[in-house]
Amino acid sequence: MQTILDNYFTAYRSLNLTRDEDGVLVVQFHSNGGPLTFTAEAHTEVVDAFYRISQDRANKIVILTGSSGDFMTGVDWATFKDVSDPDVWSRIHDEGVQALENIANIRVPVIAAIEGRAHIHSEYVLLANVIVAAEGATFQDMGHYAAGVVPGDGIFTTWSYRAGAGRAEAFLLNAHPITAAVAREWGVVAEVVPNGQTLSRAQELARQYLKAPEVTRRNTRVHFIRPLKQRIVQEVGYGLSLEGASAAALVKAMQARS
């Protein structure tokens, strides 16, 4: 019997989904085959994609990665329209909350394989159980304080959970990237590997994790993600409200200058 899950692999422009015979699903973020520039369409797609991924029990391990040597590099702000419009921000707010909750609701081990720049939405990466980063990988937040808005979409929640609040605050207030080595020192990245080898290493880890019984794998993910999931539920809706107010103020200031 066909279900709604049967056709989601080809439903998205910004996500390439492939699954091998062992149930290891690779989720590759991309823009036309290259590094993803985040758009309003991608924002909507990740909500639906990760909901379906979380519901599909044929997915035994999930690997998140980017394309052409990067994870996510920029934002096409124009696609989001007038973010000072409450109707526009209401959609952004709801999708922002749902995207993180849906990733957190994936009930199998999640591995992130990060090459190059993870400069936008690195909170998606930090919802993985294990992050494998290339030697040349860098982490940065170009989409919030550096752009003039509050980092309220869960990036503070995830970075403070993984690295500690003090490090997260300094990281988000400073527009400079940190290296994979620093992220490993902070406890965010589990392994640093040579450039070009993150996906193969993530797949090696997936094979290792598959040796455990399925219920053990699923329940371990549920157990490990629960504290962070609780913080997402408690903090991200409020944080996105603060971000929305700051986005409206930024638009107002830009209009006054013009």
Report the catalytic residues.
123
Interhelix angle for 214-257 vs 86-104, to 10°?
160
Residues in the chain, overall count: 258
User: What whole-number distance in Å separates Cα of residue 226 and Cα of residue 231?
Assistant: 9
Q: Is the dihedral of CA 132, 203, 118, 90 positive or negative?
A: negative
User: What whole-number distance in Å separates Cα of residue 87 and Cα of residue 207?
Assistant: 45
